[in-house]
Amino acid sequence: MIDTDSKLLITGGSSGMGLALARLSLDLGAQVVLVGRDEAKLARAGTMLGGRGRLELLTADITCEDAVAKLFETVGDLDHIVCTAADIRGAYELLPTLDLQAARQAMESKVFGPMLLAKHGAPRLRPSGSITLTSGIAAYRPMPRGTVVAAINAALEGLVRALAVELAPIRVNAVSPGWVDTPIWEFVAGDRKDAMLAGMAERLPVGRVGRPEDIAQAIAFLVGNGFTTGTVLHVEGGHRLI
């Protein structure tokens, strides 16, 4: 698990899995730097977390290299970096209606953004530190409209393995969630969200879809386990089995 008094930077922490990880980390006694693009959403997250003294809120766009470099100048030394950020809302389209710019934006947020975090953040990490990224079930069980997201997640997992070698002894891993009840489903499924999640819950061996806390616990394991690197941890309720 996450060590008491360790310092984590969490991007994409304004909601969903990142917010759940921030709450867990604070409960475990860690210092958390929560990073997001939307200042208002970030402020709401800070309020939800209780405005604790070990929480710092910073606004930054991780797809902009200058912003990422400035972010780490501000933050200073760290123990761990976690990225749950992903702007993939416009990428869920069938090929005939796919907007290439939306696909590029999704790629920038989920592959190039984490690459920039590693580039500028690794020099700030202690040798025992770690970087944890977020893949997803789409790389293994793609659906119609999911071509771009499947390709992005597969690319990110390759990035994890390469970074684990290049940045050693810093550990680099990814968590790969299945279907998790987070705000992204409002954009993916709209008013069909509840029905889609319920349908998947009936199919999964565990009998339910994921919760943000499930993924937060998995990330906490990757952060705290000093003998795990270059690994993708699947937390998907048995989705790959069905």
Encoded amino acid at 155, one letter: A
Encoded amino acid at 144, one letter: P
What homologous superfamily is domain 7-233 in, according to CATH?
A: NAD(P)-binding Rossmann-like Domain (3.40.50.720)
Question: Where are the domains positioned within the chain?
Answer: 7-233
Q: Mean pLDDT for the chain?
A: 94
Q: What is the pTM of this model?
A: 0.95
Closest to 135 in 3D by CA, of 223, 233, 10:
233
Measured distance CA(63)–CA(35) in Å, rounded? 13
Q: For residue range 155-193, list pLDDT tens digits in order.
A: 999 999 999 999 999 999 999 999 999 877 776 767 888
Q: Give the pLDDT confidence score for residue 87 in this predicted structure.
A: 87
Q: Which residues pair with 10 in a beta bridge?
A: 34, 82
Measured distance CA(151)–CA(137) in Å, rounded? 11
How would residue 1 be classed by pLDDT, with cut points 50, 70 and 90? confident
Point out the least confidently predicted range of 19-28, 82-91, 230-239: 82-91
CA angle 38, 172, 109 (to 5 degrees): 30
Classified as helix, coil or strand, 3 is coil
Q: Give the pLDDT confidence score for residue 216 in this predicted structure.
A: 98
Q: For residue range 30-44, list pLDDT tens digits in order.
A: 999 999 999 999 999
